[in-house]
């Protein structure tokens, strides 16, 4: 299990699986956040926080919410807003202990343009 937490510690997560890779994406939002995502099914991720400590950022086609700690501003995860259609979500591994991530490769996803992995 991999754990992460925002800077102030109010928002924590557990990733219950060990992913084969993480994803860095260059789309307009991921590029700005600088996130390294671990994608999983929502059943494989526990978000541990008070709901009122999160800010959801929702824009465009309103498919996803990017969730950040209201206090320290760290973006900890995104979730699908239509859980009936998709239970995919992702946690930002920049919130995790670097040493625990070393054996898992980071793949680069071209979310800005081709929507394919660049490696």
Residue 27 as a binder of Zn ion (CB under 5 A): the answer is: no
Q: What letter does residue 73 receive in the DSSP assignment?
A: -
Residue 47 as a binder of Zn ion (CB under 5 A): the answer is: no
CA–CA separation, 109 vs 119, rounded Å?
8
Beta strand 12-15 pairing with 2-5:
antiparallel
What residue has token string 């557990």? Answer: 14
Residue 10 as a binder of Zn ion (CB under 5 A): the answer is: yes
In this chain, which stretch among 6-14, 17-25, 32-40, 88-96 interacts with Zn ion, using CB under 5 A? 6-14
Number of residues that bind Zn ion (CB under 5 A): 6
6 or 93, CB closer to Zn ion? 6
Beta strand 22-25 pairing with 12-15:
unpaired
Chain contacts with Zn ion (rule: CB under 5 A): 6, 8, 10, 69, 71-72
């Amino acid at each position: 299990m991999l754990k992460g937490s925002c800077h102030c510690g109010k928002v924590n997560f557990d990733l219950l699986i060990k992913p084969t890779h993480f994803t860095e994406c260059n789309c307009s939002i991921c590029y700005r956040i600088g996130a390294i995502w671990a994608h999983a099914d929502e059943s494989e991720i526990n978000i541990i926080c008070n709901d009122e400590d999160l800010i959801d950022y929702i824009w465009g086609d309103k498919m996803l919410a990017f969730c950040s700690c209201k206090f320290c501003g760290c973006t900890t995860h995104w979730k699908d807003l239509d859980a009936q259609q998709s239970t995919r979500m992702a946690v930002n591994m920049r919130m995790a202990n670097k040493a625990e991530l070393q054996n898992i490769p980071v793949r680069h996803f071209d979310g800005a343009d081709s929507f394919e992995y660049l490696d």
